[in-house]
Amino acid sequence: MNVLQSFDLTGQTAVVTGAKRGIGRGMAEALAQAGADIVGVSVTLEPNSEVEQAVTALGRTFTPYQCDFSDREAVKNFAAQLEADGVAPDILINNAGTIKRKPAAEHPEDWWDEVIEVNLSAQFILSREIGRGMVERGRGKIIFTASLLTFQGGITVPGYAASKGGIGQLTKALANEWAGKGVNVNAIAPGYIATDNTQALREDPDRSKSILERIPAGRWGRPEDFAGPAVFLASSASDYVNGEILVVDGGWMGR
Ligand X SMILES: NC(=O)c1ccc[n+]([C@@H]2O[C@H](COP(=O)([O-])OP(=O)(O)OC[C@H]3O[C@@H](n4cnc5c(N)ncnc54)[C@H](OP(=O)(O)O)[C@@H]3O)[C@@H](O)[C@H]2O)c1
Give ∠ CA 135-79-148 in degrees, rounded to 5: 80
Residue 166 in contact with ligand X, rule: CB under 6 A:
no
How far is the CA of 58 from the CAs of 23, 217, 223, 229, 239, in angstroms? 18, 30, 18, 19, 26
Instruction: Tell me the three state secondary structure of residue 147.
Output: coil
Window of 5-13, 62-70, 151-159, 168-176 that interacts with ligand X by CB under 6 A: 62-70
Closest distance to ligand X from the beta carbon of 216 (Å)? 16
Window of 52-60, 96-104, 170-178, 236-244 that interacts with ligand X by CB under 6 A: 96-104
Closest CA to 27 of 13, 36, 39, 16: 16
Q: Which of 9, 12, 18, 183 binds ligand X (CB under 6 A)?
A: 18
Q: How many Cα atoms within 13 Å fall on the side-chain side of residue 112? A: 9
Catalytic residue (one of 65, 160, 192, 240)? 160
Residue 171 in contact with ligand X, rule: CB under 6 A:
no
Residue 64 in contact with ligand X, rule: CB under 6 A:
no
Site string for ligand X, 120-159 (x = CB under 6 A): -------------------------x-x------------
Residue 197 in contact with ligand X, rule: CB under 6 A:
yes
How far is the CA of 197 from the CAs of 2, 63, 88, 239, in angstroms? 38, 24, 30, 31
Q: Which of 15, 28, 93, 118 binds ligand X (CB under 6 A)?
A: 118
Residue 82 in contact with ligand X, rule: CB under 6 A:
no
Q: Which of 127, 171, 195, 235 binds ligand X (CB under 6 A)?
A: 195
Q: Which of 35, 89, 97, 165 binds ligand X (CB under 6 A)?
A: 97
Q: Can you state the angle between helices 158-178 and 109-116, rounded to 10 degrees?
A: 20
Active site residue 160: yes
Residue 42 in contact with ligand X, rule: CB under 6 A:
yes
Closest CA to 34 of 244, 237, 255: 237
Q: Which of 12, 13, 16, 24 binds ligand X (CB under 6 A)?
A: 24
How far is it between the farthest Cα atoms of the chain? 55
Residue 109 in contact with ligand X, rule: CB under 6 A:
no
Closest CA to 125 of 76, 179, 67, 177: 76
Cβ atoms of residues 81 and 70 within 8 Å:
no
**Catalytically annotated residues:** 160
The residues binding ligand X (CB under 6 A) are 18, 20-24, 42-45, 67-70, 95-98, 118, 145, 147, 190, 192-193, 195-198
